[in-house]
Amino acid sequence: MGEAPSQTGNRAKHVAIIMDGNGRWAKRKHLPRAMGHKRGVEAVRALIRSVEPMGLDCLTLYAFSSENWKRPEDEVDDLMDLMRKFIKSDLPEFIANDVRLKIIGDWQGLAPDIVKSLEDALEKTSGGSRTLAVALNYGSQQEIARAAAKAAAIGEVTEASITAHLDTNDLPPLDLLIRTSGEVRLSNFLLWQCAYAEMLFVDTLWPDFTPEHLQTALDDFAIRERRFGGR
């Protein structure tokens, strides 16, 4: 039996976003691809600042997938350099605004200096009341396999035990997944967590995605009837 449907007027507590379209944004403007990624970081920054006013408890962003290593080396290097700069420049703002940073994925497989910076940021923001979860070197199939192996090791492979060993085990259930740029696929992102999440695919390229776009998505979510398998 599924759970009873909720009433309209839902408040999303946890939103995840597949940030897609940086390269196409740059191409349309006849700019280097790196400029698209740089502008995408600015979009991230603006969105993080909107989390509290919009009442979100958690925002999860797909920043770098385990498959992104297949991209050209210079593009990967640009992304890693942007990550270094972002951590350094925005950490004080996270602390000042009570934001807890959480990293999901095999982030400890990144460059040692990035790992060290992330460990420092995780420690310094651990007391934050709202969460920014960033998926780095992340693949959902790999995450599920790791969780299932851990559950098997303790002799109990159930939905609950797998969920307890996911990277997202301390986050609220996922309410809404958004993907930008017009692509309609999950790209190995939060496959388990999306089981009953609402989904929204928008044509806006990520660098052009604003807090106003997010608010529109939340307004759309609020009027959806969530059935969870029921009628």
Partnered with residue 135 across adjacent β-strands are: 62, 104
Q: Rounded to whole angstroms, how far apart are CA atoms 105 and 99?
A: 19
Instruction: Please name the residue that has the structure tokens 């210079």.
Output: 74
* Residue that the structure tokens 């006849």 belong to: 30
20 catalytic residue (yes or no): yes
CA nearest to 19, candidates 132, 180, 190, 220? 180
Distance CA 220, CA 231 (A): 20
Active-site residue, from 10, 68, 97, 188? 68
Rounded CA gap, 185 and 194, in Å?
12
Q: Is 219 a catalytic residue?
A: no
Angle 132-12-198 (CA atoms, 0-180°, nearest 5)?
105
Find tokens 């790209």 and name the residue. 187
Token look-up 């159930």 returns 158
Distance CA 185, CA 195 (A): 14
Choosing from 20, 78, 90, 167, the catalytic residue is: 20
Find out whether 187 and 18 touch, Cβ atoms under 8 Å: yes
- 30's tokens: 């006849």
Active site residues: 20, 68
